[in-house]
Chains A and B, each alone.
Chain A
Amino acid sequence: MVSGTRLPIVLLKPGASVNLASFPATQGHRVAESAVNIERVTESVEALKAEFDAHRYICSDQIATAVYLAYHLRKPVLIEGPPGVGKTELGKTAATIFGLSLIRLQCYEGLDEAKAIYEWKYGKQLLYTQVLKETLEEVLQGARGFAESVSRLHEFGDIFFSEAFLEPRPLLKALREEEGCVLLIDEVDKSDHEFESLLLELLSDFQVSIPEIGTVKARREPPMVFLTSNNTREISDALKRRCIHLYIPFPDTDLEQRIIHARVPEIPPRLRRQLVTFIQELRDLDLKKVPAISETIDWARTLLLLHTENLDPQLVRDTLNVILKFQEDIDNVDVEVPVLTNKAVKS
């Protein structure tokens, strides 16, 4: 499954600092090689879909169309949907397919520009001022009067607020990637309103403004941006307006079976059908947290591990905690297990 064009995926937590420049120069060579491939992949929605399939990400037409449009129109995609339907995974897989590095920004309450865009290296600045104190005297030697000293200092003026003292955070890094990259802004609904407004400039013009330096524009290729949201709050209209809006619902039985097939290929078809039917039935019940695709996959792996061939009520009861995450839900479903299992087995 690993193709030759695959590039390293860089996962960055905000605050972590990885020097991207240290990646080997072979990257450029690889990109050139994969350029043909990318052209072929992005030629049509079907080709893109097939490529996603090949990377074990089974997607609907809608999803493939979204990525297709995002690639050609260079517009950010806002992905919404219940947790666990593969929103983040879509961004990651797209990065792999396009052979771009992935820069990820995890949002949380209180995230601000210092953690998302840039920060000054204050420690370094302080240290340098202390060290340079002596040099300062030299510089100022012979200066007559206050005015002249100040004007001499001005010549050195902005050194402390130059690139050397700039600590780029994910958003700035994404803009400075030479070859372009996939920028994944995860769970944007968790961030504050202010941060959303901060994103607007980046999303529409692919640039950010740093007061001390000026405006930083995207290098040759603007990044492909994916934003994910779990709908814990409404995203502002201004942000939505700038994005392609993709809603990923829970998959239907057919699609989910294909996903399980791609992810857990060892599982026998009959069991696969049974467990997917069971999960689909479960989603219709009134639950605190309905099982998502990731839970289905986990369950499939669990059943595989237990050498299951057919679902039976006792087994389902024993493994219910894999798919349901609240005791309340487990208690509620417990009664229904025989009926649901029966339905699933007959399917």
Chain B
Amino acid sequence: MDGTLTSFIAALRNAEVRVSTAETLDALSAVELVGYDDRELLKNTLSLMLPKTVDEKETFADTFDRFFAFEDVDGALDAGDAGGDGQGNGDAGTGAGGGEGAPGAGAGNRKSKNAFLAAATKGEGEEELGHGEMASPRSSLGQLLMLDSRVELTVRMVEAAKAVNLEQIQVFTQKGLYTRRIMDEMGLPGLQREINELRMRGGLPERRLSQELSKRRERLREQVRDYVERQFLLHADATGRRLREELLRKVKLSNVEHRNFRLIQEIVFKMAKKLVALYSRRKKVFRRGHLDLPRTLRGNMGYDGNIFDLKWKSVKVDRPKVFAICDVSGSVANYARFMLMFLYSLEEVMPRVRSFAFSSDLAEVTELFERNGIEDAIAKTLRDYGGGSTDYGQAFEDFRHKCLDDVDNRTTIIILGDARNNYGDPRTEILKEMHDRAKRVLWLNPEPRATWNAGDAEMRRYIAYVHQAEECNSLLHLERIVGNLLRTVQ
């Protein structure tokens, strides 16, 4: 029973519902209390114990239905569910062959199954052998098939699936492979041989059996395929997506194909959201002059209760400032979009970010970002400031003119660009000034380190005046840098 619950929780985790070990234990004791008898109650109970947001609850409902849909026919559950099983089966029989679907557990099960098979037999138009004596099968799978016990068949199937590690299925192309493997594990080769042999021997009872067995084999194959499909959805659907995301993270941003833009955007947002959740702690500022009586009295106990050392209710407000300067010129056109996306997310993550964009002249885009959605903001920035030829000297000059006075020792300055200055004056003295005033200056360069000084790149000169220079051309880089950044500014 506990195994069922833990594998259900594994499936939940796969569907991106976060379940901790403590919650697993809680869920176990809750299930102990309510039992497995009442499906609806079980669902309600687990949905109270495991998912902890509205989104997660929706995911939970889907996963529960999918997971326990199979467990129903599995027969691994107790009598209550077996009843449901028989009923579902009966319905299928009614649809196919007109047999009566009795709702009782065992009887209904068998009867409807026979009806179903009879219908399937007629449909295929093989040689008519009539009803009559039938030989008994010898291979183990054959015996199992002729046994007409759905439960046992299913149990065998699940065992086989476990043996071939079905839960490790990752991409949908593997479905056929796993179906085959499970069939083999269940003893398909032996069955195959038996069918052939029976056909060769030619006696009527043997041929009847051979025909019956191959029909049942096909049905089994279908059943296994269904099972693999469901397990794939349960275990691999999200894994596949995660795989793709993983890949995208490592890929160079300039090489990302256009169709993946949306996914990238989602990843950046997810990243930003994760960071927001981690770092956005509300800091409460009490009005100055609010006397903290308890602390005052406690603090003055030592002075015979005479109050002369006043304590104030004040919370130190830590306000890191970030100035982000983004190069959007022609040479980094491929990256600019992502850099801006990053900048935009940064504004959401950090309490006080001011963003600037430049090709040659520098302009502040903070407000533009605040007022527009991400798509519009990026498009507008690129339209208004992008595409020109780069002039870092001019941009630094503008920065000094516009807001160097606002830079203080709690400020972090982030520069995003390739430092390709078209052989113009690099104006390193301004960068030095920025370096001296700010807490940190960070340079994120989209080019690989090896080419930082090739051609018209001035990285060599600039690097002397920054605290840290990093290569940044994939989401993985970005994530790492942002994480570090937040750790230092907070």
- A residues in contact (CB < 8 Å) with B: 45, 61-62, 65-66, 69, 72-73, 75, 80, 109-110, 114, 119-120, 122, 125-126, 129-130, 192-193, 233-234, 237, 240-242, 244-247
Contacts and interface: CB of A to CB of B under 8 A. Distances in A.
Nearest to B277: A234
Given A45-B34, A61-B44, A65-B34, 8 more contacts: A45-B41, A73-B26, A109-B284, A110-B286, A126-B305, A129-B304, A237-B52, A240-B52
B334 interface: no
A122 B26 contact: no
A252 to B, nearest CB: 16
Contacts of A65: 34, 41, 44-45, 48
Nearest to A109: B284
Contacts of B304: 129
Given A69-B49, A72-B33, A61 B40 contact: yes
Given A122-B293, A193-B281, A193-B282, A73 B29 contact: yes
B284 A119 contact: no
A109 B20 CA distance: 29
A73 B45 CA distance: 12
B376 interface: no
B44 A130 contact: no
Contacts of B40: 61
Nearest to B293: A122
A224 to B, nearest CB: 15
A244 B49 contact: yes
List the 4 closest pairs (A to B, CB-CB), nearest first: A65-B44, A240-B52, A245-B52, A244-B48
A128 to B, nearest CB: 10
Q: Which secondary structure characterizes the binding site on chain B?
A: helix
B41 A62 contact: no
Interface in B18-62: 18, 20, 22-23, 26, 29-30, 33-34, 40-41, 44-45, 47-49, 51-54, 57
Which residue of A72, A126, A240, A245 has the most chain B CB atoms within 10 A of its CB atom?
A: A245
B22 A192 contact: no
A179 to B, nearest CB: 23
B30 to A, nearest CB: 6
B57 A247 contact: yes
Nearest to A231: B54
Interface of B: 18, 20, 22-23, 26, 29-30, 33-34, 40-41, 44-45, 47-49, 51-54, 57, 277, 281-282, 284, 286, 293-294, 297, 304-305
A203 to B, nearest CB: 12
B37 to A, nearest CB: 12
A244 B49 CA distance: 5
Given A66-B48, A114-B294, A122-B297, A241 B54 contact: no
B23 A241 contact: yes
Given A69-B49, A73-B29, A234-B277, A110 B284 contact: yes
A187 to B, nearest CB: 15
A296 to B, nearest CB: 22
B41 to A, nearest CB: 6
A65 B282 CA distance: 34
Contact of B22 (A62, A114, A241): A241
30 contacts: A45-B34, A61-B44, A62-B44, A65-B44, A65-B45, A69-B30, A69-B45, A72-B33, A73-B29, A73-B30, A80-B54, A109-B284, A110-B286, A114-B294, A119-B294, A122-B294, A126-B297, A130-B305, A192-B282, A193-B281, A233-B282, A241-B20, A241-B22, A241-B23, A244-B48, A244-B49, A245-B49, A245-B52, A247-B54, A247-B57
Nearest to A46: B41
A126 B297 CA distance: 9
A66 B47 CA distance: 10
A209 B282 CA distance: 25
A73 B33 CA distance: 9
B55 to A, nearest CB: 10
Contacts of A119: 294
A62 B48 CA distance: 8
B286 A125 contact: no
A198 B281 CA distance: 15
